[in-house]
Amino acid sequence: MKKPVFSGSGVALVTPMDSEGRVNELVLRRLIESQIEHGTDAVILCGTTGEAPTLDDREHLLAITCAAQTIRGRVPLIAGTGSNDTRHAIALSLEAKQCGADALLMVTPYYNKTSQSGLLRHYYTVADAVGMPIIVYNVPSRTGMNIQPETYKALSRHPMIAGAKEAGGNIAAAAKTKALCGDELPLYAGNDDSIVPMLSIGAVGVVSVLANVAPRRTHEICALWQAGKTEEACALQLALLPLIEALFSDVNPVPVKEALRMMGYDVGDCRLPLGELSPENREKLHRAMQEAHLLPVAV
């Protein structure tokens, strides 16, 4: 049985930018402190929500170092170091390890993609070279690459493959993966609209966009479920669905950065090619934030 890197709610944190488009360390520290204060169980940096595709290696390592210095071991720090080049994934992972990451989040190769056997070679090669826990990240809508349950079974045999963030949106496939892997591959929900469904088939937590703006409630969904209060967990999941829908009304992280700005966090804009939220979706998001009691309602 493998010990999960974390259980509960891990925030897929945005990367705040200053007015010049540079990584804003001061705001990053503020966001992390707020997350820990409000019960987040792990911090995940430089993933999809952290705009990893537009961060160069220096910026990746700057953000990871800043986070490690801020967290000081209070919660696990998981660094996104995936690449479609195995050599680059190894090099960036080793640097992240030196910067203080506790584990890695590693997306499947994108654009060039690979076969299922190529996936095994990719992950095994990185895991052998890096020697630290790796959470595999499956997000076919972004990469055009899907990990099959049987491939997960093979991956689970490696001692450093410590979990999987499953964002494929297929609960049946995730259930098959759980049946095949058991406790040798801890699963994490990768979509906020299916935290409870994933927990119901044995997931140990979530890597969450929602937690950027509602960390306490995202944590509570998992904590309630783990405490056996399944009805309460389900009710909270359902109550948050309008907010979750609004947070994905445009390409992530465009809406969640807008939501954080509404809350007073100077996280800056997304880097191109990601654009601005439309007025219609901004109004939808603002209304959902008010209904979730995250913003005051005008009287």
**Predicted confidence (pLDDT) per residue in 12-62, tens digit:** 999 999 999 999 999 999 999 999 999 999 999 999 999 999 999 999 999
| Residue 187 within a domain | yes
pLDDT above 90 for 3 = yes
Give phi and psi for 49, each to the nearest 5. Answer: -65, -25
**CA 14 centroid distance within chain:** 10
Q: For residue range 186-211, list pLDDT tens digits in order.
A: 999 999 999 999 999 999 999 999 99
Q: How far does the chain reach from its first CA to its final CA, in angstroms?
A: 54
pLDDT > 90: percent of the chain: 98
268 lies in some domain: no
Question: 297 pLDDT exceeds 80?
Answer: no
- On whether residue 234 sits in a domain, the answer given is no
Residue 247 has a pLDDT of: 98
Residue 298: what pLDDT? 65
Residue closest to 99 by CA, chosen among 129, 79, 74, 128:
79
* Beta-bridge partner residues of 214: none
Query: In the chain, what percentage of residues exceed pLDDT 70?
Result: 99
Average pLDDT of span 172-188: 98
Residue 1's pLDDT band (cuts 50, 70, 90) = confident
Number of domains the chain is built from: 1
Q: Is residue 260 part of a domain?
A: no
pLDDT digits (tens, 9 = 90+) for 232-286: 999 999 999 999 999 999 999 999 999 999 999 999 999 999 999 999 999 999 9
Question: Which residues are known catalytic residues?
Answer: 137, 165
User: Quick check: is 245 in a domain?
Assistant: no
Return left, alpha or beta for 14; rule: phi > 0 is left, psi -120 to 50 is alpha, else beta.
Answer: beta
Is 273 a member of any domain? no
In a domain, 252, yes or no: no
216: confidence class by pLDDT, cuts 50, 70, 90: very high
CATH of the domain at 166: 3.20.20.70
| Domain coverage including residue 24 | 8-227
Domain assignment of residue 220, yes or no: yes
- Written as six digits, the tokens of 135 are 């959470």
Q: Per-residue pLDDT tens for 101-146? A: 999 999 999 999 999 999 999 999 999 999 999 999 999 999 999 9
